[in-house]
Amino acid sequence: MIELNGGIKFGDSIVLDPTRIQPAAMVSHAHSDHLKRHKIIYGTPATLDLSGISIGSFEGIPQKYGTTSRIGECSVRLEPAGHILGSSQTIIDYQGYRVVYTGDFKLTQNDTCMPAEIHNCDILFIDTTFGKKIFDFPDYNYIKQRLLEFVEASLYKEFIPVIFAYNLGKAQEVMKIIGDAGFNTYVTELAGKYAEIHKKHGIDIKNFSTLNSQYPENGAVIMPPLSRNFDELYPAYRKRTCFVSGWALYRSYIRFRGVDEYIPLSDHASYNDLIRYIETAGPDKIYCLFGFKDIVDDLKYRGFNAVKATIANRKGVDRYVLEETNLFNQ
């Protein structure tokens, strides 16, 4: 039986991205909403390395992209998800069904990880974080150009450019873009540690150093959104701030105040790419994880058997999910 119950469980064989600590778990990527302090973690080598920084010691069982392994009743293969370094889609053959769990994913360019492909399946658990039509993201090169223009224009006017980006994933992506263009970046100690793991796995991130009280020469400061330290940062200097996230296209939803510029650099698939994934993969059953109900309605309209679902245990939603299916109760 496959269950959505604090993780995606395949009988007693394996559980994907459990929301509570488990003796053993398969982890799609090292973001904290997918990673807990499990005893044994199956994941890509990069995910295991990044996880070590976040959660300390555990027993890691590395799974390279494209290789199949047997775990209990499951035949399991990880493939790139294009979300952050090490992020994976999980492809499982179980009791005659091909199941794909995309994890957080993106189909278009991300300079810090391998691109994702679409995988055919019978049952699809898909990350629909941006499952609303408003999330139609611009071209990656245009986004990079906007980011560099923000840095250049701020420096020219003698402001310190401050970019709000989460410590893992987005920070290294911004560091890479800005560093490749010849500017310096000044980052938190944690973002710097994650960047070293990127370098270990072949992603060359240049010109970064740890934030301190010294003036940030010819470059940008990168720190987590609405960081408490922000007000104490370089009190004698003027700053310009920028928030980089897919949420930039839905500003009423995020309600950040005091940000000068918003750039929609997303590490999740756009609405159209979500539809493209589903139409190409051709699943009989779709579980839309995270995000909005809009896409579920659209998919039903297009003739797909789709439901809104959650990995976490939220009463009602899980029951609804399980009632909807007959595939799982065998």
Site residues, Zn ion (CB under 5 A): 31, 104
Short-list 167, 235, 177, 241, CA closest to 205:
177
Cβ contact 3:15 at 8 Å? no
Q: Judged by CB, which is closer to Zn ion: 104, or 273? A: 104
For the CB of residue 31, give the shortest distance to Zn ion in the complex, in Å: 3
> What is the distance between the alpha carbons of residues 75 and 61, in angstroms, rounded to a whole number?
15
Taking the CA atoms of the chain, what radius of gyration do you get in angstroms? Answer: 20
Cβ contact 74:93 at 8 Å? yes
Q: Judged by CB, which is closer to Zn ion: 128, or 154? A: 128
74 phi and psi angles, rounded to 5 deg: -100, 140
329 phi and psi angles, rounded to 5 deg: -100, 55
For the CB of residue 300, give the shortest distance to Zn ion in the complex, in Å: 26
For the CB of residue 259, give the shortest distance to Zn ion in the complex, in Å: 22
For the CB of residue 46, give the shortest distance to Zn ion in the complex, in Å: 14
> What is the distance between the alpha carbons of residues 310 and 289, in angstroms, rounded to a whole number?
5
Q: Judged by CB, which is closer to Zn ion: 49, or 104? A: 104
For the CB of residue 183, give the shortest distance to Zn ion in the complex, in Å: 26
Q: Which residues contact 179 (CB under 8 A, 6 or more apart)?
A: 185, 205, 206, 207, 208
Q: Judged by CB, which is closer to Zn ion: 82, or 216? A: 82
For the CB of residue 320, give the shortest distance to Zn ion in the complex, in Å: 25
For the CB of residue 104, give the shortest distance to Zn ion in the complex, in Å: 4
- Neighbour order of strands in the sheet with 285-289: 68-71, 74-80, 88-94, 97-101, 123-127, 285-289, 306-309
Token output for 33: 């909403």
- The total of other beta-carbon atoms located within 10 Å of residue 213's CB is 8
- What type of residue sits at position 126? I
For the CB of residue 216, give the shortest distance to Zn ion in the complex, in Å: 28
> What is the distance between the alpha carbons of residues 175 and 158, in angstroms, rounded to a whole number?
20
Q: Judged by CB, which is closer to Zn ion: 31, or 176? A: 31
Q: Is 204 helix (H, G, I), strand (E, B) or coil?
A: coil
Q: Judged by CB, which is closer to Zn ion: 34, or 285? A: 34
> What is the distance between the alpha carbons of residues 139 and 329, in angstroms, rounded to a whole number?
43
Place of tokens 């290789």: 67
Q: Judged by CB, which is closer to Zn ion: 31, or 119? A: 31
Short-list 68, 23, 71, 65, CA closest to 44:
65
